[in-house]
Structure 1
Amino acid sequence: MKHQIQILGMVAMAFMVSCTQKDKNPEVNVNPKTDPMAIQTPMDTTKTVAAETTHNSENSVDWFGTYEATVPCADCPGIKTILTLNKDKTFTISEEYLERKSKNEDKGTFEWNSTGSIITLNGKSAKYKYKVGENTLTQLDMSGQPIDGPNKDLYVFKKK
């Protein structure tokens, strides 16, 4: 009986060893361009390559174009502002102070923030920040925070 248990144990051990996964396709360095015997298999199209899936204003909104708003002014009825953003990350801005016959114009470049949702103008005098949305720009304060208060809607520029 002892002898049969030993044989049974050895058979079980052999069975377990034979069932372990062996690498049936060891890695072989084959260059299909130089080895005429290399077999080329079609590309597996069931696997997808991870693409950039982070959507933000910079890569998923048609942000370029001309925007307009009349923003509040401390000592006049408002500042009619026309801002044009170009695909090459340049801009032009025109600010007309209503009832003052005063107009400022500037041009320069702009930069996107790291999240791709806010631009900062880099002109001679224009250093504004805007949150970019679908057909809108919302002017932010100098620290990049939303302007709050009863006139906050006046800081939303509409695309023309």
Structure 2
Amino acid sequence: MRIYLYIISILTACLVSISCINNKANADVESNVDRSRQKYNLSGRYEGNLPCADCSAISTTLVLNKDRTYSLHYTYVGKSDELFHKDGVWRVDSDVLHLESEDYNYKIEGDRLSQLDLSGKEMTGNLAGKYILDRVD
């Protein structure tokens, strides 16, 4: 009987230890997210004319709200007057802005956002400096 009590007390001590370690790991992750949120004040309006293969430009407006939602509007200049619109949630991870339901992410560079390619790397080539959305308010 004593052996069973001894085994139960050891198992209980192990479970309590594991629980404490897991809570510390979760707290570290949450504090990193909080630091990332404090580091950037991204809410506002961003605009730019992004390069387009079969039109003059993609006139783009991105509004980032304080509640972590976004609104994206764009038109294909010289091709169509149709206004495209998407809404969703945004987050920041390692200096990169991620828009839910969007293929492209943006590197945060002060008051501007630099669009990354589909693999998440910085754009290269002659047009690389044109994939920019500047903060307008």
TM-score in terms of structure 2 length: 0.68
Deviation at 1:77, TM superposition (A): 0.4
The amino acid across from 2:70 in the alignment is F
Identical residues among aligned pairs (%):
30
Higher RCO (CA 8 Å, separation ≥ 6 residues): 2
Number of residues paired by the alignment?
A: 103
Q: Which amino acid in structure 2 is aligned with residue 88 of structure 1?
A: D
Is residue 89–residue 100 contact of structure 2 (8 Å, CA) maintained in 1?
yes
The structure with more helix, counted as a fraction of residues: 2
Find the counterpart in structure 2 of residue 111 from structure 1. 91
Partner of 2:100: 122
Where do 5+ consecutive residues of structure 2 fail to align? 1-30
Matches within 5 A, 1:3-152: 58-100=37-79, 101-113=81-93, 115=94, 117-123=95-101, 126-152=102-128
TM-score with structure 1 length normalisation? 0.59
Supply the AA of the counterpart residue of 1:139: Q
Bigger Rg, structure 1 or 2: 1
Contact 2:115/2:131 (CA < 8 Å) preserved in 1?
yes
| Cα offset, 1:127, TM superposition | 2.9
The one-character-per-residue Cα deviations of 1:116-143 (angstroms, maximum 9, x if unpaired) are x1011113xx332011121111110122
Do the aligned residues in 2 keep the contact of 1:81 with 1:93 (CA within 8 Å)?
A: yes
Q: CA RMSD in A?
A: 1.9
Q: 1:67 to 1:57 in 2, by over 3 A?
A: farther
Deviations 1:45-92 (A, max 9, x none): xxxxxxx8xxx7642232110000100111000100000111111100
Counterpart Cα distance in 1 of 2:41 and 2:105: 18
Aligned match of 1:29: none
